[in-house]
Chain A
Amino acid sequence: GENVEQHPSTLSVQEGDSAVIKCTYSDSASNYFPWYKQELGKGPQLIIDIRSNVGEKKDQRIAVTLNKTAKHFSLHITETQPEDSAVYFCAASNRDSNYQLIWGAGTKLIIKP
């Protein structure tokens, strides 16, 4: 079955700098890759997602890139702000797993003032 690995587990960046979180997946049939942000004590919230027919997607300061050959996808946050501090999760799914999301272990992003 699918396995998703996420790195790093903790990332500390200076406010205003960029942050990059990377995930690798094992099942080449996976075709949907969402990123969720979870603030303390709350449920995760989708921030961006990408399907396998595109290589990059942007939404203001957030972008996701997908490399199907290497089976990895990354979250890029530019001009980081204090409110970006949270835990970020990547996930992957495909039809063979009945579209169940397989989640990475999460990255705690700390924005230093």
Chain B
Amino acid sequence: DGGITQSPKYLFRKEGQNVTLSCEQNLNHDAMYWYRQDPGQGLRLIYYSQIVNDFQKGDIAEGYSVSREKKESFPLTVTSAQKNPTAFYLCASSIVIDYEQYFGPGTRLTVT
């Protein structure tokens, strides 16, 4: 059963702590993406990766970091430098860039 998994679904952290969100896909897609979604707003791109060992910043990369060591995995770290980290985070993948993006179920992060 192919798809994208994100874990956990809900995540709670104290301010000042780094936290890593998991994203795994078994669709054999080359491209992967991280988006942030805030209430009443569209999705905003944090980072994307077109191929293993390569990634680029999106519009709101400050305070976030990623790695792409394996084709299947694209973890996102929300660092303590991110000023307003509480949000719904969505991971997506596509066979290559500029094709349909398939989304995971999302992780809701709450930082207090």
Contacts and interface: CB of A to CB of B under 8 A. Distances in A.
Contact of B43 (A41, A99, A103): A103
Interface residues of B, number: 22
A20 interface: no
Interface residues of A, number: 23
B42 A46 contact: no
The 10 closest A-B pairs by CB, nearest first: A43-B103, A103-B42, A99-B98, A103-B43, A99-B97, A105-B42, A46-B100, A44-B103, A43-B90, A43-B106
24 contacts: A6-B42, A9-B40, A32-B98, A41-B105, A43-B90, A43-B92, A43-B103, A43-B106, A44-B90, A44-B103, A46-B100, A49-B100, A89-B42, A91-B42, A98-B56, A98-B97, A99-B97, A99-B98, A100-B58, A101-B43, A101-B45, A103-B42, A106-B40, A106-B41
